[in-house]
Structures are given as C-alpha cells and as structure tokens.
Chains A and B, each alone.
Chain A
Amino acid sequence: MALKGLDIFKLSPKKNCKECGSPTCMAFCMKVAQGAVSLDKCPYFSEEALATLNSATAPLMKTISVGEHKLGGETVLFRHEKTLVNKNLYAVCVCGDCDADAKLAEMQKVDYERIGERMYVEFVFVRNKGNDPAAYAELVKKAVATGRDIILECWDVECAKAALAVAGKNVILDGATPDNWEAMNAVATEAGVVLGVWASNISDLYDTVKKLEAAGNKNLVLDVTGATAKETLANAVLVRRTALKQEDRTFGYPSIVNVAKLAKGDSRLQTAYAAMFTEKYASIIVMENMTYAQALPLYGLRQNIYTDPQKPMKVEAKIYPINGADENSPVALTVDFALTYFLVSGELERSGQPVNLVITDASGMSVLTAWAAGKLSSSTIKKTFDELDIANKIKNRTLIIPGKVAVMKGEIQEKLPEWNVVVGPLEAVQLPKYMKDKEYEAAAKAAAAENAAKAATTVEVKELSFDELLATKVPAIEVVDMGVQYKGHNPESKTFVTIGERIHCIAPTIRKAMDERDPAPILERAAAQIKAGATYLDVNIGPAEKDGPERMMWAVKLLQENFNNVPLALDTANMKAIEAGIKVYNRTNGKPIVNSADAGSRIGYIDLAAANDAICIALCSADGIAKDNEERMVHCDNMLERGLSLGMSSDDLWFDPLFLVVKGMQDKQMEVLEAIKMFSDKGLKSTGGLSNNSNGAPKHVRPIMDSALVAMCMMQGLTSAIVNPNDLRLMETIKSCDIFKNHVLYSDSYLEL
C-alpha cells in the first residue's frame, strides 16, 4: 500500500537539515512516497515512526509458503488491475471412511504439462473424523507417501500432534477454531507449520484471527468454507475485499475452500464450484477427487486467469507432431505466442494431414509484431533449428512459413539452404484447405529447383569491411532539390525533440524503396517531415539481416547529404547496420541516436551507443511490458548504470517508458505519465513512441489524443517523442508547450517558426 507524502511528513523529524540531499523534509517525504528515494537516506526518523511506516507499507495480503508453494500475496481484486500473483492450488480430500489408497492412486494419475506448467494435485487434504490419534496418523502416512504437501483438517489436539509427528514440514494444520485456537496455536507453532483457521461464521473467523495475531502467529490461512456455496462465496469475497479494499490486514491471508464439502458426491457440481472459486479468491480448492475430465478445464482456466496481463503466454519452442506426423512429414513454422499456437495447431489438426509444427522463440509475440521487433528473423529461426536439431530429427525438407512474413522467405532460405522454404497462407483458418490440397508440394518443388540452381552458381563470399562495402555496395548519392532544407539543430537546446517516424519499413513503399535503393519515396517522406519541423528523423530499415550495413550507410548518406546533415535515429534489429550507419554519419546537428536498447535481450545496444559516442533510447522493459513503475525504474537504473560505467553521459540515455495503447490499457496511462515524472526527477531525458496511445482509434481522433497526451507528458518532463511530424495539431501543441515551459521566447508568430 503506497503511503502519501504528507503521511510520511507527519512522522518526519522536520529538521530540514538537507543531509539527505533534499532541500526540505517535505521534499524528501514526497520523494519517498514516489519511491524515488529510500527512507533510510534520513537517519533521524524515530524507531517508533519507522515501525509505523513499515507496518503501513507492509503488503495488505501476506504471502504464505508451504514447502515450495506460495499462497496469497495478491494486491488486486481483478486481474486487469495489475495481475494475480500466486495461482490457486488443488487438494484432494481423504478421510477414514473412504478408500484412501485407491483415491490417492487415482489422484496421482493426473500429472501433465500444459504450456510449460506442471498440472497436478499439489496437496492431500487429510480429514480427521474421530478422536483416534493412531488411526489418523496412519492415514496421514499414506498421504505423505504421495510426496504431495499436506493439509490436516483436524480440530482435535491429540490427533493433530500425532499427525504432525508423521506429516513432515510441508503442512497446513487446518485446525484452529474459536474454541480451540490457543491449544492449536501452540501445536502449530511448535511444529513450525502454517495454521488454518475456521469458524462457523465470518465474524467469529475475524475475532479468532485477531486473537491468533495477538498471540504472535501470523503464519495463517483461512478456511472460509461455509455451510453452503452461497455462504462460502460471500466469505471468500468479503475476506479478500476487506483486506485489499478496506485495507484491514486481519483478513490479509490466503483462503481454503472445500468444494468437496459443498457438493459431496457430485463431481460435476464440484467442477462448477471450483471454476467459480478460481476466479473468486480461493488459494486452495479441496476436491473429492481429481479426474482428467475435471483437471483439463480447471487447470486450463487457472492458467488463463493467473496469466500476467502484461506478459504474453508462451508455449515451449519445440517440434509438435500433429496428426501422427513423423520424420517424413513436412514442417510448418510459427511463433511461441500461446494464442497463435492454439489457433495454428487447432487448424492443422482439423486438416487431418500429418505435419510437424515447429514453434520458434519469438518472446511470446504474434507473427507480425515479432517480425517488426526483430524477434522473428531468419537468425532466430536458424537458432531454433540448430538448438532443436531439426535437420536430424526430420527428413522431409519442406518448411512452410507464415504468409504474413512472406518477405522473410529469401533470408530464411539463405540461412537454411538445405530446406525448401514455402510461403503458407496468411490466416490460420486457411490452413485446413491449404494442407488438404497439398498446395505446399508444388511450391516446395519449385524452391528445391531454385536452391539447386543457386547451389551450382554460389561462390564463397568473404565478409567485407565497412569501407569496402561503402566503396562497392553503396550507390553514389545524388542530391535532389526537394524544395526544403533542414534548418539546423542545437544539441544544447532545451526545446522538445521530435523524432519523425515516417521512414519505417512497415510501410510497403518504404520497404520497397529500401530493397531497391530507390531514393524518391524516402526523400519525399523526409522532406515532408523536415518541412513540418521534425528535429530528428528515424530511419527504420527493417530487420535487414542480409545487407543491413550497406542499407543503413546508403540511407544515412542519402538523407544527410540531401538535407543539410539532418540528425538521425538509426532503427534496426541489426546492430552491425547501426554501427555502419554511424561510420558515415555527420554530427553537425547532433549525435546519432541508437533506437533502441532495452533491459532484456537488447541491452547490448547501450554498449553499441557507448562505443560509438551515440545517444541511446533505453526502453524500460525486459520481457514484455513492465508490470509497474517499480519495475520500470529498476530497468531504468540498470541501464543508466551500464551506460555510465561505459563512459556515457547520462544526457545521452533517453529513457522510454513504453507508451501503451488506450484501447486495451486505458487504466495504465497515468502510470506511464508518472514514470516520465520519475525520469525527470532523476534529471534524465526521456522519449518514446507517443502516438502508440491512439493506435486503432479513428483517424480524426488520433491527433487530438496525441496532442492531449503530449501536453500532459511535457508537463511531466518528457523531453522528446517519436511522432508523426505531419500531424499539425500535435506539432502546434508541442510548440505551444515549449512556450509555456519557457524553452522558446514567445512571439506572435511562434507557430510559424
């Protein structure tokens, strides 16, 4: 729970000694509240004040550990608010009356993997029905023999002691009630196990927890099972809501729901209840049995509900044989985004044709997104093929790639010369027909013929130096009068830096122009952006795996020689290409920008920028979107540290909070704005693809959204943005904000400047 600055200030020493580096205690407390500074920078907070602050900042719901399992620790009521943290676990119930051996044997049969997660029953719930310690201990032994963790439902102290003696350490003693809590607390504490608390109504449950906490035990779970399903839902919701919304930590514990008790003998109704309690707040669900028919939907639901909304669900990169495919069946390739996998594998199954589906690592992105981000490239595919040893596992040499990345065919063919690369359909739904009609066979034959022809003529090419490439592979630049000249840029200026985004390979005309080294379309877009007042131009040459260096050198020279050395941001997944571009770059109007590093696989871009005295855009994410500003700032600090240690100036790292799309992540917009403020408070520069916010919105709405956002961002301290400069409303807003920020002296015609 975040404290407000004023709450901290009330407890502060109010000395204004400045030892912490802040001018006043108030300023310091504000920074602490934002998480920008740690409280221990001030040595003068009293013990008492620290204790109060620590308990106020403690999580609202505790995380309780049993063996390797973690329960609770949730911070939100709904997954879209942030994410749910610790998935609910399952238990199967055994007691003296049932055939425990048979039940436990059945339970252990359900054990499988789904999207990288082991699906099995994590706990055995051992119910004590009488007051015979020896008999109960015998039953517990059987449960322990399964190797699963244990829940002892036992209200009898002697039976509990006997059970604990044989139950091991990974145990929840679900035994405290309003009547026996003192004795049970002693037993659980002595054994060092988690204590479960149950009461016949929620009010008594609350009081009992209070008493246990007063006695010093905060290692609890709450058995919220009531007399009916209706009462149990009320308990589960009220307990969670009281903890997280009313911020009453008395109910800040994980909960057990016993659906076996609620629907005794009706396994289908138990499935229904378990589905509800997966969404509504059970930490452990106790079932009478767990069959595959129950496990398949329930574990699937759980896996979905507990997926982090900001981290894509990924499937393992490997060969998935479909419809009994063997080594002689063709290969179809797609990315590891779980939805893509399910869609493609489902359609391939429907085709009835044997095919080996190869999933390649693409950071859980969909096909086109992964391609654009450089996460799906001929190199990543080659890597998958090598790591999985596919050439030796499969004899068939037909490789079907997604139609959406038909442009990669040539590059993949080059990296995997022994394969016959074929472009598959654009959409998964077209796969059944495509496979049934064996459309790929003819295409594979054609590819094979082409390969053979190529093999006959191929000569060994040695890698050329940048100078050699420049001399031999980069066409001479012809300077054309486009009727506009870049007016120059002072790198020391405080005015907002706009980076024009229009030269991007996702646009087919630009892609074609880059491929053919055709200057006209590129110059046209550059001229328009410069005329509209862009400070920098971004040059995205695509993944450019094959000829990246000569492409980038050509593009850099083309733009700078035509437009008075306009400063550029070099944007590609090919690091060699960026290096080559910088080699020919003219710094008159500012250093080149490397676009971009992140805190994950692209951290090396910082090294590249440092080695070449360039500015580097540093995206504050590692794998997917950062889950909150705490994570963003960790990434920020790590990248800053790396840059500084490599001798960069902090001014040359421009931090990107990652702008999020309103349609889909509306509730995260303020967080992005707060992140910008945090960069600014650290004295750091920032930038980002601001117009991403309005992706998917109608054309006439986008400039309005972008303008409003840029004004809010500039207020927060944003120093630059990657934008479409042809958006007049946006550019006028930026110019106006620069007036208010006193970066430019006002004159009546400031908009025309």
Chain B
Amino acid sequence: MSFEPKTAPFSGRVNAVTLGTGDNAIVIGGQNVLPFYTFDAPIENAPKIGVEVSDLAASWDVASLKEFYAGCTTMADYAKKAESIEGCDFICLNFVGADPNGANHSVADCVANAKAVAEVVSKPIVVMGCKNLEKDGELLAALAEALAGKNVLFMSAKNENYKTVGASVALANGQKLGAETADDINLAKQLNIMLKGLNVNPESVVMDIGTAAVGYGYEYAASTFDRIRLAALAQGDADLQMPILAAVCNDTWGVKESTASEADEPVWGDREERAISMEIATAVADLTGGADAVVLRHPESVATVKKFINELI
C-alpha cells in the first residue's frame, strides 16, 4: 500500500484583519492551517512585512542603513524611503523616542510627524507606542484621532492600560487595536476577553504575544506561538483567534550579536551581516511559529524574508 498523506485544515480559523484603506489595504491572518502548511489547505493571506520607521532613526549606527536613508531628516522622509523597499507591505511608525525616560518627544511632535507621514505614504500604517504605560495612553489616543479614517493598527493595549487605550483607539476612533502580553498564553487570552468586555470588536484586534531574539530565551516565545496557534485552530478558541504581529526589530537590534563591533569580536566578522542575520532568523522563527506579520528594520532583511515567504506560500 502506498503512502497517502493525511492532510486537512483545522475547523478553527485565524481572524482576517484588514489594515489600511482602498487599493493599498492589506489583510493579515485568515488561515485555518499552521504556518506555511499549504499541504493541509491553501493559505489565503501570506504573512506581511512591515518596515520600521523610528523617531530615533537618526541614531542608528549601521553604515548601510545610514547610506540607504541618506538625506532623510524627518519621519516622513524615512517613511517615504521605507515604502520604496521591495517587499515592504506596511510602514511601522515606532515612537520609541516618546518615552519620558528617554528622549521624551512631546505628543504634539509625534502627532505632527504621524500626520506628515500619512501625507506621503500610501501603504498601511502600524503605530508602535513608547511602552511607557502612562505616556502611551495619551500618545496613542492623540495619534488615533489624528490618523482617523486611515484604518491604522495601534500597538498596544496592555493589561495595565487596556481600558484607556482600547477606548480611545478602537471605540472612539474605529482603528485596529494591538493587544500586548509577554510570553503568557493565559494573559493573552484574558486580555482579549477584557477587550471584548470593553466592547472592542474581536475582529479588529491583533496580538503581540511577545518574542525575543533567537538565543535569548526564545524557547518561551516559540512555545507561546505554538500553543496560541493550536488553541486558535485545533481547539477553536475564539479568544485566541486574533492574528499575531511580531516586532522583531525591537528584539534583535539590541543583542550582542547585532551590536558588538568587529574590534570587540574579531572572529565574528562583519557586524552588519550579523545584525541582518539575527533579524532574518528571528523573523523566520516567528513566522514559522505563527506570526502573521513581522516588523523589520534592515532592507536586506526585508528582501530575504519576503523571498522566504514567497517561496513557502
């Protein structure tokens, strides 16, 4: 008897969430199989890649990035340039500089920057706050209002501030909402339930379930991905069927493999290649686990990950 593979989709399905508007809109999620398991059923929406546009991009000390963004001074300049990268599906505005313990950019400045970006780019926008709970409450509310009608995804509501962020982003301004937890499947589910209780439509929620650079406790991220995706598909758990966005760039660019100079680690070789390689490997590990979108910094990482996705879908 010859081999007949047993293949089938699950009965559960990941929600399909649309970002952006019109012809440039993209859809993330929507599949009823594990990542890239096209032999079980076709995957309707390929995973998407966002390019990070940071309000601290001027401080990036990587030569090839400086060269690529040469002449860019404002976030709008960077965003315009980022949008031209082959493989870029959306722009991710990272307002990390708004952190009161860091550069403390004002909410007004951030709003002006975001508006300027929205003027010049046509691809969908994802906004990342500064991770300071209080500031994000204020910042994300102001940005959600300023970008009204653009169908923007805002990262993120957390356990501690989901009421304020959820109300302003999703309820008041009808934008898409990120729900962020850190490698904790139980909390991820709980946060989604609480957002539902707040009247946020579950179909407009995207999860950030926490990740790490590969090698840095990535086992927790890997198992959280596996378990959440299996709960969504195999158990049909509607409270975990939201698509997942992984902000890969936030994890990989700070680890030693990506930052150590060639003088410090002579045998390791070219630093930029190392940083790109960390970003690629982490992104692929996330995608293989269940990320429906990844945010990357380097154009070369974007190119390789895009090629990877195209080969697998």
Contacts and interface: CB of A to CB of B under 8 A. Distances in A.
Contacts of B270: 293
Contacts of A275: 214, 280-282, 284-285, 288
Contact of B226 (A79, A273, A278): A79
Contact of B216 (A266, A268, A272, A342): A342
Interface string B299-313: 010001101100111
Nearest to A279: B288
Interface stretch (A11-19, A121-129, A202-210): A202-210
Contact of B218 (A241, A304, A309): A304
Contacts of B288: 275-276, 279-280
A241 B34 CA distance: 13
A298 interface: yes
A272 B294 CA distance: 14
A379 interface: no
A109 interface: yes
B186 A663 contact: yes
B304 A268 contact: yes
A269 B308 contact: yes
Interface residues of A, number: 57
A431 to B, nearest CB: 15
Chain B interface, DSSP helix/strand/loop, else mixed: helix
Contact of B3 (A207, A271, A292): A207
Contact of A297 (B2, B223, B281, B313): B281
B268 A279 contact: no
A84 to B, nearest CB: 10
A301 B214 contact: yes
A304 B230 CA distance: 20
A192 to B, nearest CB: 29
B243 interface: no
B256 interface: yes
Interface in A297-325: 297-301, 303-305, 307, 309, 313
A234 interface: yes
B197 interface: no
Contacts of B277: 268, 271, 293-294, 296-297
Contact of A206 (B3, B39, B230, B257): B3
Given A203-B2, A276-B288, A296 B217 contact: no
Nearest to A81: B226
Interface stretch (A135-143, A225-233, A530-538, A733-741): A225-233
Interface residues of B, number: 53
A349 interface: yes
B217 A301 contact: no
B284 A276 contact: yes
Interface in B255-304: 255-257, 267-270, 273-274, 276-278, 280-285, 287-289, 300, 304
**Residue from the set A109, A250, A278, A296 with the largest chain B CB neighbour count within 10 Å:** A296
A230 B284 CA distance: 14
B273 A293 contact: yes
B38 interface: yes
Contact of A301 (B218, B227, B307): B218
Contacts of B186: 663-664
B102 interface: no
A44 interface: no
Contacts of A280: 288
A307 B269 CA distance: 28
A186 B29 CA distance: 50
B257 A296 contact: yes
A349 B256 contact: yes
Contacts of B218: 300-301, 304-305
A250 B278 CA distance: 37
Name the residue among B4, B39, B215, B278 with the largest chain A CB count within 10 angstroms: B215
Interface in B188-222: 213-219, 222
A292 B267 contact: yes
Interface string A261-289: 00000101101111110111000000000
A424 B21 CA distance: 52
B5 interface: yes
A273 B38 CA distance: 16
A279 B291 CA distance: 14
A278 B281 CA distance: 10
A78 B216 contact: no
Contacts of B280: 268, 271-272, 275, 297
Contact of B305 (A228, A245, A272, A339): A272
Interface in B11-67: 36-39
B2 A271 contact: no
Nearest to A209: B3
B274 A296 contact: yes
A407 B218 CA distance: 32
Contacts of B307: 266, 269, 272
A200 interface: no
A300 B214 contact: yes
A102 to B, nearest CB: 16
Nearest to B300: A268
A272 B281 contact: yes
A297 B5 contact: no
Q: Which 9 A-B pairs have the closest CB atoms?
A: A300-B215, A206-B3, A297-B281, A301-B214, A304-B218, A275-B284, A234-B39, A80-B223, A304-B219
29 contacts: A78-B227, A78-B230, A79-B226, A114-B215, A206-B2, A230-B38, A233-B312, A238-B5, A242-B3, A242-B5, A246-B6, A271-B277, A272-B280, A272-B308, A273-B284, A275-B284, A276-B288, A276-B312, A279-B222, A279-B285, A292-B269, A293-B274, A296-B277, A300-B215, A300-B216, A303-B215, A304-B216, A304-B218, A663-B184
Interface of B: 2-7, 36-39, 184, 186, 213-219, 222-223, 226-227, 230, 255-257, 267-270, 273-274, 276-278, 280-285, 287-289, 300, 304-305, 307-308, 311-313
Interface of A: 78-80, 109, 114, 202-203, 205-207, 228-230, 233-234, 237-238, 241-242, 245-246, 250, 266, 268-269, 271-276, 278-280, 291-294, 296-301, 303-305, 307, 309, 313, 338-339, 342, 346, 349, 663-664
